[in-house]
Amino acid sequence: MNSLMKNCISYGVLGLGLLMYFVFIGSYQFIESTIVILITLLSWSAITTYLDTFDTITFSKILSSMGLIFAISFFFFFGVEEVPIPKGAMLFSASGIAITLFIIFASILPLLYVIHGDNSIEPVNLPSSQVASQPQATNAIESSSSLDDIDDDWEIATEEDLESGNFEVAA
């Protein structure tokens, strides 16, 4: 099966699921629409995994967009309430707004992880001449706090000890 056919199948599942979701929302069936949107996400994940086209970036984008759609629906079902007097007035529910904001926050997290998730610090390979001087810079900061933890049988390694290589590293 070629790539175009795999994409048509996976995005067809998403389109069909969203269409069913909006049909249930339009008929004011919130629980059923929630079930449909979750089944859509699960089936899309299963199908893309089976077709070997699963991409975490695409999944994060779809999860975020579905979460935002769900949050908007939740807001209009539970955050806004129409009251009869005065005519056309609306009452906002604080709990509905709070839950909606939490859903929006939770649905933005996958996008933030995709955008800023690669900010891990990787070790820098230093030449061997700089390796001896690097631990002393960090040990100078840590030595004052960790001097109490050193046994009486041990002594702090000097620069000559580090260059000679004749010392035992405590684990």
Six token digits for residue 60: 């994060």
Sequential DSSP letters for 20-53: HHHHHHHTT-HHHHHHHHHHHHHHHHHHHHHTT-
Would 169 be classed as within a structural domain?
A: no
Q: Are residues 72 and 148 in the same domain?
A: no
pLDDT tens for each residue of 65-94: 999 999 999 999 999 988 888 887 889 999
CA–CA separation, 49 vs 153, rounded Å? 58
pTM over 0.75: no
Q: Are residues 34 and 100 in the same domain?
A: yes
Whether residue 171 is predicted with pLDDT greater than 60 in this model: the reply is: no
pLDDT tens for each residue of 33-52: 999 999 999 999 999 999 99
Would 123 be classed as within a structural domain?
A: no
Sequential DSSP letters for 119-166: -PPPPP---HHHHTHHHHHHHHHHHHHHGGGS-TT-----HHHHHH--
Q: Are residues 77 and 157 in the same domain?
A: no
Q: Are residues 41 and 74 in the same domain?
A: yes
Expressed as residue numbers, the domain containing 145 is 128-164
Q: Are residues 66 and 143 in the same domain?
A: no
**3-class DSSP assignment, residue 72:** helix
Q: Are residues 112 and 134 in the same domain?
A: no
Q: Are residues 36 and 105 in the same domain?
A: yes
Q: Are residues 63 and 110 in the same domain?
A: yes
Would 122 be classed as within a structural domain?
A: no
Would 170 be classed as within a structural domain?
A: no
pLDDT tens for each residue of 114-169: 888 766 656 556 555 554 555 554 544 455 555 555 566 667 777 777 778 776 66
Q: Are residues 142 and 100 in the same domain?
A: no
Q: Are residues 20 and 63 in the same domain?
A: yes
pLDDT for res 146: 53
Question: How many structural domains does the chain have?
Answer: 2
